[in-house]
């Protein structure tokens, strides 16, 4: 997210995001790449909106928009013990989604810090 965009967002939104991040696990792009390269079994969910996919997607991801991820998570996994990595463009929406999925009983849910933007810079 650009600094200008962040300034246009209500501060209460960022307070909610920061509170969510304190309750969930965030992983780095390096962590995710290690998971992929090691052959670890995990589900990867892209919670960005469809029009954002034009920028690309992380290989292996299932696209489930943020607005319906809680309802449609079974498109990616029904195994609540399986590692589950959530990402968005910058890490805010994925943190919120990860917290909700954790509250739904997913035991090993993680949010990708920096989201697709961080991934794209390091690929």
Q: Catalytic residue at 88?
A: yes
For tokens 């790449």, what's the residue? 33
Catalytic residue (one of 44, 45, 88, 110)? 88
Task: Give catalytic residues, as residue numbers.
Answer: 88
């Amino acid at each position: 997210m650009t600094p200008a965009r962040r300034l246009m967002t209500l501060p209460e939104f960022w307070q909610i995001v920061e509170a969510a991040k304190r309750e969930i696990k965030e992983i780095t792009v390096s962590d995710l790449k290690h998971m992929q390269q090691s052959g670890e079994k995990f589900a990867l969910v892209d919670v960005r909106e469809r029009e954002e996919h034009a920028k690309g997607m992380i290989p292996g991801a299932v696209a489930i928009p943020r607005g319906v991820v809680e309802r449609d998570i079974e498109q990616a996994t029904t195994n609540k013990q399986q590692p589950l990595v959530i990402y968005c463009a910058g890490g805010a929406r994925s943190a919120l989604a990860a917290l909700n999925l954790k509250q739904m009983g997913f035991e090993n849910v993680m949010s990708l810090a920096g989201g697709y933007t961080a991934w794209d810079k390091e690929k």
